């Protein structure tokens, strides 16, 4: 009897030495090709407080931040009458992005996600056509390259162009990394593999905060933190192509060779049975964007996925980019948020094994809303240390921890909801929705100049809406992944245990 890919992994190691080594490498990818080029914008696109120089036109003696009601006073006086505090340099200070150009620094962060939006769609579709490995390393290398080149930008617009290219490449490689981590794990360990792969982002954020504290020049900081990423290209020689994608392309021999290597590294015997392959050409065709709307059930999954990704991304990145603006020490704020993320990822792995996906996601969204509302209510008095500590705790710990868990599980949930032939397209378009909200979240600090309640109020509303939508979806915990476009429409997931003979025969 032919065995499914899931059953093969149960025989040769669902999450053995091979998968652990692969997961560790992917963590390094997310550290140097994700955390560094994205999270560095918290520091190099930040704006120091400003102080008066000429007391005849500028009567203030203290330093003034974006949260201060006097923040816009500098736009009514001569540029010579005030200066930035010299705590650190950034693109804001170097290119003098103030007043009518004051939003440009945040725009340079926003364009990363605009590029990500395009890249996740374009490369997501190509990845289903040409495999996971090529976009991973080609886009990952160029992500590293243009992040490094941005340190030598002679003008702001050249810097912004480099950041948009970085974003495009991020969108191209980040989904294949996650999909490979998921596809090389068995049913029992998909959740753990998908959760642990993000640990590199939290570790990278902490390392980056330490580097930024020691290196206050934005160009040098970009060079020092970006350089090590070039080493990761050697991963090309030992990272395998997706087994499931190879089978969809009919490359059975290559798929079996890779499975043999997995079995050897894990110390298991390679099964002699054949790999299961559907024969129906209609079922076997690879999916495209229109297939996301091929039926009422698929439309429901697609739109719900887009909304959840939009919400979780906005909250995740808005809390991250708020670190310099909520008060207190920006370096400590970033470390606190990173520690919350570091706790969230292994916790997500444990929760993903023990509990249903929907329960975890809904509870996480509700806790995110609680954290955002708590931070909102504590925004009345920034001069009171108790209020400030409470606001940082609710936003950087409660909301950040909960939304990190939700983000991790949504990746897993989405990958499990859609069939292999459509998975990268579904993930690509879902992350595109996330990058739209991430682009908006990058300029969320500007809402503080409108009303201090706006950023956290929007976060709370989105979290509650996403929790409600999640409740309407089908549970995927401990269910085999669908392999073709019609499988989800033919039968709904049931609660059979993985490995049952009846289940293997049906799949």
Non-local (6+) Cβ contacts of 251 within 8 A are none
Q: What angle do CA 347, 499, 22 make, to 5 degrees?
A: 45
Q: With 60 as the cut, is the pLDDT of residue 131 above it?
A: yes
pTM over 0.75: yes
3-state helix, strand, coil in the chain (%, to 5): 70, 0, 25
**87-88-94-100 Cα dihedral, nearest 10 degrees:** -60
Q: Distance between CA 191 and CA 409 in Å, rounded?
A: 8
Which of 302-316, 321-335, 473-487 shows the lowest per-residue confidence on average (mean pLDDT)? 473-487
b/e map 34-57, b = 16+ CB within 10 Å = bbbbbbbbbbbbbbbebbbeeeee
447: how many CB neighbours lie within 10 A of its CB? 17
User: Which residue in the block uniquely carries the two structure tokens 């490094």?
Assistant: 148
3-state secondary structure of 327: coil
Count of alpha carbons within 13 Å of 453, Cβ hemisphere only?
7
- Determine the length of the chain: 507
Q: Distance between CA 67 and CA 360 in Å, rounded?
A: 35
User: Three-state secondary structure along 467-487?
Assistant: HHHHCCCCCCCCCCCCCCCCH
Q: With 60 as the cut, is the pLDDT of residue 493 above it?
A: no
Region 300-320: what's the mean pLDDT? Answer: 91
363: how many CB neighbours lie within 10 A of its CB? 16
3-state secondary structure of 275: strand
Task: For residue 50, give the DSSP letter.
Answer: E
Q: With 80 as the cut, is the pLDDT of residue 309 above it?
A: yes
3-state secondary structure of 51: strand
Rg for the chain, CA atoms, rounded: 24
Greatest mean pLDDT among 65-74, 231-240, 270-279, 294-303 lies in 231-240
- Residue 259's Cβ-count burial label (10 Å; 0-12, 13-18, 19+) is buried
pLDDT in tens, 379-438: 666 566 777 888 888 888 999 999 999 988 888 888 788 877 777 678 778 877 888 888
Q: With 80 as the cut, is the pLDDT of residue 136 above it?
A: yes
Percent of residues, the chain, with pLDDT higher than 90 = 29
DSSP code string of 90-157? -HHHHTT--GGGTTHHHHHHHHHHHHHHHHHHHHHHHHHHH-SHHHHHHHHHHHHHHHHHGGG-SSHH
**Residue 100: per-residue pLDDT:** 83
**Residue 382: per-residue pLDDT:** 59
**50 is written with which tokens?**
């400003």
């Amino acid at each position: 009897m032919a065995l499914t890919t899931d059953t093969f992994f149960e025989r040769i190691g669902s999450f053995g030495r091979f998968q652990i080594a692969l997961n560790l490498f992917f963590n390094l990818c997310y550290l140097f090709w994700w955390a560094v080029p994205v999270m560095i914008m918290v520091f190099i696109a930040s704006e120091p407080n400003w102080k008066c120089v000429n007391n005849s036109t500028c009567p203030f003696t203290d330093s003034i931040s974006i949260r201060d009601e006097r923040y816009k006073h500098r736009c009514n006086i001569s540029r010579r009458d005030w200066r930035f505090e010299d705590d650190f340099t950034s693109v804001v200070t170097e290119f003098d992005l103030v007043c009518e150009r004051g939003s440009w620094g945040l725009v340079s962060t926003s364009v990363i996600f605009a590029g990500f939006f395009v890249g996740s769609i374009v490369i997501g579709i190509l990845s289903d056509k040409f495999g996971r490995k090529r976009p991973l390393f080609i886009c990952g290398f160029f992500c590293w390259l243009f992040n490094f080149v941005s340190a030598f930008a002679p003008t702001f617009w050249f810097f912004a162009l480099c950041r948009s290219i970085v974003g495009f490449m991020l969108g191209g490689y980040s989904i294949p990394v996650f999909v490979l981590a998921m596809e090389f794990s068995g049913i029992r360990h998909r959740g753990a593999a998908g959760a642990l792969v993000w640990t590199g982002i939290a570790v990278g954020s902490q390392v980056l905060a330490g580097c930024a504290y020691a290196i206050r020049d934005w160009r040098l900081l970009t060079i020092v933190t970006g350089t090590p990423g070039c080493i990761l290209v050697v991963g090309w020689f030992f990272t395998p192509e997706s087994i499931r994608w190879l089978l969809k392309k009919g490359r059975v021999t290559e798929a079996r060779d890779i499975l043999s290597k997995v079995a050897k590294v894990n110390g298991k015997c390679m099964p002699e049975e054949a790999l299961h392959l559907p024969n129906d050409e209609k079922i076997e065709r690879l999916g495209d964007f229109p297939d996301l709307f091929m039926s009422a059930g698929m439309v429901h999954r697609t739109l719900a996925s887009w909304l959840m990704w939009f919400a979780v991304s906005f909250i995740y990145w808005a809390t991250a980019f708020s670190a310099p603006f909520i008060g207190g020490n920006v370096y400590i704020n970033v470390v606190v948020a990173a520690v919350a993320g570091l706790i969230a990822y292994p916790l997500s792995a444990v929760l993903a094994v023990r509990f249903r996906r929907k329960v975890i996601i809904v509870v996480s969204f509700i806790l995110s809303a609680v954290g955002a509302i708590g931070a909102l209510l504590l925004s009345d008095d920034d001069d009171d240390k108790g209020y400030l500590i409470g606001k940082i705790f609710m936003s950087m710990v409660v909301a950040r921890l909960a939304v990190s868990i939700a983000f991790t599980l949504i990746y897993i949930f989405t990958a499990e909801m859609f069939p292999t032939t459509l998975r990268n397209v579904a993930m690509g378009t879902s992350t595109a929705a996330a990058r739209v909200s991430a682009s908006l979240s990058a300029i969320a600090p500007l809402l503080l100049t409108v009303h201090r309640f706006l950023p956290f109020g929007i976060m709370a509303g989105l979290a509650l809406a996403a929790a409600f939508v999640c409740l309407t979806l089908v549970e995927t915990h401990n269910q085999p992944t669908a392999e073709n476009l019609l499988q989800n429409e033919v039968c709904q997931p049931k609660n059979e245990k993985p490995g049952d003979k009846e289940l293997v025969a049906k799949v």
